[in-house]
Structure 1
Amino acid sequence: MCGRFALAYPRANLIKWYHALTMPEIEPRYNIAPSTDIVVIRDSVTGREGLMMHWGLIPPWSKDTKKLPLLLNARAESLATKPTFKHAFRRQRCLIPASGFYEWKQSSDSKSKKPFYISSKDGPLSFAGLWETATVDKVIINSCTIITTNSNELMRTIHDRMPVILPPQAWDTWLTPSQLPDDILMSILMKPLAPEHMQLWAVSPAVGRISNQGEQLIQPVNE
C-alpha cells in the first residue's frame, strides 16, 4: 500500500518533467498524509495540467464523506470490476508525482514497525492514480487514489504491496482520457517498477507523526 509519501521537487522541475502547462504553487513536503491535498497530473483538452486534489477518492454518488471508507489506495487487480473505481479506471486516470514514499516493516517480535523511505535512482516517482469529481454539500471536490500492485523483489523485504510506478514511456497511454481496452491498461499496471531503479533505507520513527515535517525525515538511520 501507500499511506505516506514526500514531494520535494521544485515546481519548475515538475513542469519540465511532466511537460505540464499548469502547476500549482507548492512547497517541499516530506510527510504527506491521506485526506490532504496533493499534486495530480492529468490530461486536458489543451494538454497536461497539474492541480491539487484531495487524497482519498470520493465517488461521484457520495453524499456523506464521513461515512465513506478512506480510499487512499486502489488495488490494480480489481479496478475493472469494482464499482467504486471502474468508471475512473476507464476515463479518469492520472499521475501522482513523489520524491519517495514510506513503508513500515513489521519487526521480528511483531510488537513494532520500522519505517523505510523508498525512492527512485532516476528522478521523481510517478504513481498511477485515478481521479473523480463529487459534489458534497454543494461543494465540488476533486479527489484521487493511488493504485497498488504486488511488490517487486526489493519492496518484498518490507511489504507485499507497493504503488504502481509508471515510467515516462507509459504516461501518454495512461493519461489519455479515451477509453482503452482493459487488457492494455492492465498490462501497464501489473508490472511493478524494476528493483534496480529503486533504493530504500531505514528512517526515523518520527515520520509516524503527521505533524512532523522536514528533510530530516528522509535521512537514513542505523538499523
Structure 2
Amino acid sequence: MCGRYATTRTNADLSSFFEAVDVAEPLRPSWNVAPTDPVPLVRISQRHEARVIDTARWGLVPPWAPDLRGGARMINARAETVATLRSFAPSFARRRCLIPADGWFEWVRTSGKQKQAYYMTSGDGAPLAFAGLWSAWGPEAVLTCSVVTTAAAGNLARVHDRMPLILPADRWPDWLAGGGDPEQLLVPLSERDLEAIEVRPVGSEVGNVRNNGPALVKPVAEVTLF
C-alpha cells in the first residue's frame, strides 16, 4: 500500500511540470502526507477544457457514501480490482487523475517490534506522477482521491509487496482521458524506470504524523536488510 508520501512542490512548479492550469488553493509543502490530508492532483476540467492543478482530500469517498469518514480507509485502490469494485469503478471509468509526489514511505520489520522506514523517490529529483482517482462528495462537491497501487517489483519488492502505480509522461494523456482498455492503462512501470527509483533508509520520525519537514527524507545509516 501507500500510506504516507511527500509532496512539496509549489502550485507554480506543478503547473509548469504537468502543463496544467492552476485552480488549486495553495498548500503547504508536506514531507509526511497522511490519510485525509489535502493534497494536489492533476485532472481534466471540462470547464477549463484543459488539465488543472486542483486540491482534494486523500481518501476517496463515493458520492453515495453517507459521510466523509470512510475516506480514511480508501486512500488506495488496487489495480487488480479498481475497474470492477463499486467504490472505485465509476471513478476509474470517468474520473482519473495524477497525484504528484516527491516520493513515498514504507516500513520493514527488522527485529521484534523494530521497523526501518524507507523512502522511495526519483533518482533525478523529478516529481513522480501516481495514478489516481477522484470523486466529488456532497452538496459542496468535496473533492476526494485515491492512489492506485500495483504489485511491487525489483528492489522495491524487498521493501513492500505493493507500490503506487507510477505513470511516465507519455501515459498521462490516456490516463486522464477516461475510458480505454484497463489492461493497457494499468501496466506497471517498466524495469528501466523502476531501476531509476532510489530506495533510501530514513529515520523513524516519519512514523509520527505530527512530524514534518525535509529532515524526514534525509538518508540515515543503512541497516543490514538486503
Normalization by structure 1: what TM-score?
A: 0.91
1:24-62: CA deviation from partner (whole Å, max 9, x where unpaired): 323321111111110010012320001110100101100
Contact 1:150/1:192 (8 A) holds in 2: no
Equivalence for 1:151: 152
**1:111 paired residue number:** 113
The farther-off stretch of 110-119 and 67-76 is 67-76
CA distance in 2, matches of 1:85, 1:32: 22
**Aligned-residue offset at 1:170:** 0.2
Secondary structure, aligned partner of 2:21: coil
CA distance, structure 2, for counterparts of residue 14 and residue 22 of structure 1: 8
> How far apart are the structure 1 equivalents of 2:170 and 2:81?
24
Residues 151, 162 of structure 2: 8 Å contact kept: yes
Letter in 1 for 2:209: I
Letter in 1 for 2:200: W
CA gap 1:16/1:116 in 2 versus in 1, 3 angstroms: same
Name the structure 2 match of 1:60.
Answer: 63
Q: 1:91-130, aligned counterparts within 5 Å? A: 91-107=94-110, 109-122=111-124, 123-130=126-133
Q: Deviation at 1:127?
A: 0.3
What is the one-letter code of the residue matched to 1:143? T
CA deviation after TM superposition for structure 1 residue 151, in Å: 0.5
1:215 deviation in Å?
Answer: 0.6
Displacement after TM superposition at 1:21 (Å)? 1.1
Gaps of 5+ in 1: none
The structural deviation recorded for 1:83 is: 0.9
CA distance in 2: counterparts of 1:184 and 1:115, whole angstroms: 32
Distance 1:33 1:128 in 2: 17
8 Å CA contact retained: 2:61, 2:70: no
The residue number in structure 2 matching 1:21 is: 21
1:145-167 deviations in whole A, cap 9, x for unaligned? 00100102121111010000000
Amino acid at match of 1:162: M
Comparing 161-170 with 1-10, greater Cα deviation is found at 1-10
Corresponding letter in the other structure for 2:117: P
AA paired with 1:66?
Answer: R
The offset of 1:191, in angstroms, is 3.9
Residue 5 of structure 2: aligned partner: 5
Structure 1 position 214 matched with structure 2 position 213: yes
User: Structure 1 residue 90 and structure 2 residue 90: aligned?
Assistant: no
Q: Which residue of 1 aligns with 2:143?
A: 142
Aligned counterparts, 1:189-208, within 5 A: 190-191=188-189, 194-208=193-207
Tell me the TM-score normalised to structure 2 length.
0.90
The percent identity for this pair of structures is: 36
- The one-letter code of the counterpart of 2:114 is S
Gaps of 5+ in 2: none
Secondary structure of 1:206's aligned partner:
helix
The equivalences for 1:163-182 within 5 A come to 163-177=164-178, 179-182=179-182
1: CA distance, partners of 2:157 / 2:137:
36
Stretch deviating more after TM superposition (124-133 or 22-31): 22-31
